């Protein structure tokens, strides 16, 4: 019988304005309590304000990093910007293909910290127009990133076979993210972990 991979809850951040916080301190405390009650020790934060507006919600990471190991995706374009994510409390800070100005920025980021990962953005093809990314392939991007020194990868479930074969027998972690409906039910022993929206996870427990 196929065993399940480690599950990491996903927290989406989007919509903060000067007048409204994404989550109040009370809401964050409740989320943290619920997840810790279910014995989750890691949390993947996808900061859409950082990805889409270059305004990452670093204070949210700071609020949660004492309770969880934080894997943080906030869309820095340049490698030098990675340090802000690490200082905020991220154990691994992910750069992503949609935001990177050039693939070699990964090497620059690694000169500041070892805690750098790469997230592959995908929609029937690689999303991203940076140097070394546009018109490239998953295999080529992941192999080059590995050669730079990246050992942490996040990829959509639907691309896992391609990604796994690209780095077969390499010493790295390939985490799959369930970004389409139904993908949260797909398990593969080759996943280092499966990242699933935390609301779905809590709902599954309630319905169990």
3-state secondary structure 74-90: CCCCCHHHHHHHHHHCE
Domains of the chain and CATH, by start: 6-207 (3.20.20.70)
Q: What is the CA radius of gyration of the chain?
A: 16
pLDDT of residue 16: 62
pLDDT tens profile 135-145: 999 999 999 99
- For residue 147, is pLDDT > 70? yes
Question: What is the arithmetic mean of pLDDT over 90-103?
Answer: 97
Sequence-distant (6+) residues with CB within 8 A of 2 are 187, 188, 189
Residue 18 has pLDDT above 70, yes or no: no
Strand partners, 177: 156, 195
The pLDDT value recorded for residue 92 is 98
Residues 104-109: contacts with CB within 8 Å, 24+ apart? 104/131, 104/132, 104/148, 105/77, 105/78, 105/79, 105/130, 106/79, 106/145, 106/148, 106/149, 106/150, 107/79, 107/148, 107/149, 108/78, 108/79, 108/80, 109/76, 109/79, 109/80, 109/82
CB 141 within 8 A of CB 105: no
For the segment 37-72, what is each residue's pLDDT rounded down to a tens digit?
A: 999 999 999 998 888 877 888 999 999 999 999 999
Give the distance from CA 126 to its chain's centroid.
Answer: 16
> Residue 97 in contact with residue 124, Cβ under 8 Å?
no
Compute CA distances 114 → 54, 77, 152, whole Å: 23, 17, 10
pLDDT (0 to 100) of residue 108:
98
Convert the pLDDT of each residue in 171-202 to its tens digit: 999 999 987 777 777 778 888 999 999 888 87
Asked whether the predicted pLDDT for residue 150 surpasses 60, the reply is yes
pLDDT at residue 105, rounded to an integer: 98
């Amino acid at each position: 019988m196929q065993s399940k991979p480690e599950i990491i809850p996903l927290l989406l951040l989007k919509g903060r304005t000067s007048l409204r916080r994404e989550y109040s301190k009370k809401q964050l405390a409740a989320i943290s309590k619920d997840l810790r009650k279910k014995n989750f020790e890691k949390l993947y934060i996808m900061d859409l304000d950082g990805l889409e507006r270059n305004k990452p919600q670093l204070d949210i990471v700071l609020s949660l990093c004492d309770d969880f190991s934080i894997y943080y995706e906030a869309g820095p374009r340049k490698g030098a910007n990675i340090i802000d994510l690490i200082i905020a409390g991220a154990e691994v800070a992910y750069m992503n293909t949609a935001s990177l100005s050039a693939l070699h920025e990964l090497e620059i980021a690694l000169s500041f910290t070892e805690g750098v990962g790469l997230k592959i953005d995908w929609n029937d093809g690689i999303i991203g127009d940076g140097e070394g990314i546009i018109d490239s392939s998953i295999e080529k991007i992941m192999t080059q990133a590995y050669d730079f020194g990246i050992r942490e990868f996040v990829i959509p479930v639907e691309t896992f076979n391609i990604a796994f074969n690209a780095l077969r027998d390499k010493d790295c972690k390939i985490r799959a993210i369930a970004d389409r409906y139904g993908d949260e039910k797909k398990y593969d022993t080759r996943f280092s972990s499966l990242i699933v929206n935390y609301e779905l996870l809590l709902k599954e427990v309630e319905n169990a």
